[in-house]
Structure 1
Amino acid sequence: MAEILVVRHGQASFGADNYDELSDLGRKQGQLLGETLRAMGWQPDRAITGSLARQKQTLEEMGFSVQAEEHSGWNEYDFHDLLHQRFGGQAPDDVITDRKTHFRALRDTLAEWQDGGIQSARETWAQFTARVEAARRHAAACDAERILVVSSGGVIARLVAATLEVPDRQMITLNLQVKNTSLTRFISSKRRFFLHEFNSVPQFHDAARAELMSYS
């Protein structure tokens, strides 16, 4: 049986022109996670990221020597595109730059997307779920015992929801709970794939490090 550890990337550059770059905090989060996993005696036999810079940068900061593969199925849904398309081509500034406004709008937007709305978006909900499943199958199809994946919150939430066979709306709730550099662990065999641990942050389990935890 294989252990697949799916990590959400570190904090990205929220509100910046280029969101797809780790912030200084995001880089520190990645370093702490790598240190914590090595202290626990956990070393990956295989590593995979999506094609997004923030995912690749997180793996780099973790400091493992294994050569990473790339599979675009682990990329986040394009939330900027979804928000802009929902608002007629350009979302209001506060929807992009204000955290509370952003996440309220994102929740409603994801629900509409799941229901088949926002047809002008670059990717449909069905296409998103299909590529996440393809990424899962690709990660599980090997003889490695410890597989490290660096992905994003929406993908992790979808994978958990699909594994537990819960309604699509539950994916939205899970998505908004996923912490930066949190660990979600799956166990995989030829016949079974199940959730073992969700949204764990052992790297932040002391008072000083807890201040470094973030959700976006």
Structure 2
Amino acid sequence: MAELIVVRHGQASFGAGDAGSYDRLSDLGRQQAVLAGDALRAAGWLPDRLICGTLDRQRETLAAMGFDGVAEEHSGWNEYDFHDLLAVRFGGAVPDPVRDDRKTHFRTLREVILDWQGGGLVGAAETYAQFARRVEAARAFSTDTAAERVLVVSSGGAIGQLVATSLKAPPDQMIALNLQIKNTSMSRFIFAGHRFFLHEFNTTPQFVGPEAAKLLTYS
């Protein structure tokens, strides 16, 4: 069976006040991406198809991984717009602690996503059902191929959704998975025709060892 490895982008600029500012890798994020590419090469895993979403942090991660080939793009691999969801939740005035404090941000985000999945947050730019459909479209696009090794760079929410769907888990497991996913972690799937199975989740061989472990981040 063929393999699909989906990598979360490297560390972005947490706490940035707008989506455009967040959508850039930090210096650490670029270093993480280089290490992820090196880890795959060391394992002898060389992709024969490259895909990412259309976000800059995804493109930058894939480029820094250093594989030859022209990357394809599919917007279904993009993250849900958490800036928009939080703005809708708070009527456009997101409290400073939600923007700037990691613990408060992610606790609030979990509550907001569960509300969104339940049909709340009317007025958001994208419904949860639309998000789920586009992630499935991205999966179908990426696995409709003669390639044996497909590498995708995506984001935590899309990866969480993909994993939850592959396991036929309840929708609320998407955010539970999402919040575990490390920057540049790898989730591996195997596929053939309509068959699609999770093989590994959220692995980080690039961060093995005490020094490399210091580079591990979640946002």
Q: Shorter-chain-normalised TM-score: which range?
A: over 0.9
1:90 aligns with 2:93: yes
The match for 2:52 is 49
Cα drift, residue 191 of structure 1: 3.2
Cα drift, residue 89 of structure 1: 1.8
**Stretches of structure 1 lacking an aligned partner (at least 5 in a row):** none
The match for 1:6 is 6
Could you give the per-residue CA deviations for residues 30-79 of structure 1, whole angstroms, max 9, x where no partner exists? 00011111111111100000000000000011001111001000000000
1:29 aligns with 2:32: yes
> Residues 49 and 56 of structure 1 are in contact (CA less than 8 Å); yes or no, is this contact kept in structure 2?
yes
Could you give the per-residue CA deviations for residues 89-108 of structure 1, whole angstroms, max 9, x where no partner exists? 22112211111110011000
Q: Which moved more, 1:166-175 or 1:5-14?
A: 166-175
Distance 2:185 2:118 in 1: 29
Query: For residue 171 of structure 2, what is the amino acid of its counterpart?
Result: D
> Residues 44 and 66 of structure 1 are in contact (CA less than 8 Å); yes or no, is this contact kept in structure 2?
no
Query: For residue 71 of structure 2, what is the amino acid of its counterpart?
Result: A
User: Moved runs in structure 1, 4+ residues, more than 4 A?
Assistant: none
1:71 aligns with 2:74: yes
TM-score, length basis structure 1: 0.99
Query: For residue 64 of structure 2, what is the amino acid of its counterpart?
Result: E
The match for 2:148 is 145
Distance 2:84 2:177 in 1: 21
Alignment equivalent of 1:125, drawn from 123, 128, 139: 128
Query: For residue 214 of structure 1, what is the amino acid of its counterpart?
Result: T
Query: For residue 62 of structure 1, what is the amino acid of its counterpart?
Result: M
Query: For residue 5 of structure 2, what is the amino acid of its counterpart?
Result: L
Distance 2:175 2:15 in 1: 21
How many residue pairs are counted as aligned between the two chains?
216
TM-score, length basis structure 2: 0.97
Residue identity over aligned pairs, in percent, reads 63
Cα drift, residue 114 of structure 1: 0.3
Alignment equivalent of 2:161, drawn from 145, 158, 161: 158
State the SS of the aligned residue for 1:159.
Answer: helix
State the SS of the aligned residue for 1:168.
Answer: coil
Distance 1:90 1:48 in 2: 35
